[in-house]
Homo-oligomer: A and B are copies of this chain.
Amino acid sequence: MTEQPDLKAHRQGQDLFPTRLERKLRMFQRIDPVVHVGKKQRADGPLTEEQIAEFERNGFLSIPSYFSKEGMDEFIEELREYEQDKDLKLSEGTVLEPGAEEIRSIFGIHRISEHFDRLTRDPRLLEIAQQILGSEVYIHQSRINYKPGFKGKGFNWHSDFETWHSEDGMPRMHCFSCSVVLTENNEFNGPLMLVPGSHRYFVPTVGRTPENNYKESLKSQTLGVPDAASITQLVIEAGGRDGGIVIPKGPPGSITLFECNTLHASTENLSPFPRSNLFFVYNSVENPVVEPYCGNKPRPEFLAERTDFAPLMPV
């Protein structure tokens, strides 16, 4: 997994992260830092030195019960209202389960819900975001993932950055996601699976991106999925059959912060109960999106902020 020999040539062509290619290109080492704040300020909090080190090493950090369970109830109530809202169900930012009527995700939720908007500007969360990214931040994307019981389908292995770079034009790895648990995440309901350390490599994927790929990819991702050999190598490097994958579990209010390039997936939810999470992406204001690197027209604004890169202000 040394640096790709062809990379230099690709760099001259401007794209540091070639992907959606016609031919396979080996994975190569990450170029950008994982924690962007200066060494002196690392220990300034809110995350402890140990937490920052864990995030840097694994590419994610879980904090069980970060918010109170009660604090999540208002979101669950809003979610129930959304389920009854026909207009919302028909709107482009709402993705239904493949072959089903159930809502899979609602995107751009921080533009719809005041509760959600305030959550993204929670002073403690915002300070964590500034600590990790070493700069002011804005919201690149937000969504609610429903994952209804019995019917919620999974998501294949992928790095979010791989999509955000190629389809949204995000230049660098200077970004991370915050996932907030609304209903307990356990081993039965298709929880998030992460490969520790995978964020340290970029895996170029094969296959040209068709226009409007998002209409399919948000239901079932086939493009942008790393080859099996690379995933296997990363899982083995992370600890093999027993320790190479991690599932953060926790009650409502738990959060998982994960780096934009950390490999993750989730299986279907066969349990009777929904596994619902809130999800928002902090991007550095120094890393606003440009034209998509895959050459297509940009995806809609509900998937990727393209106009308002103003720093987020605490509530």
Contact = CB atoms under 8 A, between A and B. Distances in A.
A265 interface: yes
Interface string A181-213: 001101110100100000000000000000000
Majority secondary structure, A binding face = loop
A153 to B, nearest CB: 10
Contacts of A190: 267
Interface residues of A, number: 30
A273 B232 CA distance: 8
Given A150-B228, A188-B193, A228-B150, A271 B245 contact: yes
Nearest to A230: B272
A193 B270 contact: yes
B270 A157 contact: yes
Contact of A184 (B156, B235, B242, B266): B242
Interface string A10-51: 000000000000000000000000000000000000000000
Contact of A187 (B156, B184, B187): B187
B157 A245 contact: no
Contact of A186 (B156, B242, B265, B270): B242
Contacts of A149: 228, 232
A241 B273 contact: yes
Contacts of A183: 241
Interface of A: 149-150, 154, 156-157, 183-184, 186-188, 190, 193, 228, 231-232, 235-236, 241-242, 244-245, 247, 265-268, 270-273
Given A150-B231, A154-B268, A154-B270, 13 more contacts: A149-B228, A184-B241, A184-B242, A186-B242, A187-B247, A188-B247, A190-B267, A228-B272, A231-B272, A235-B271, A235-B272, A241-B271, A266-B270
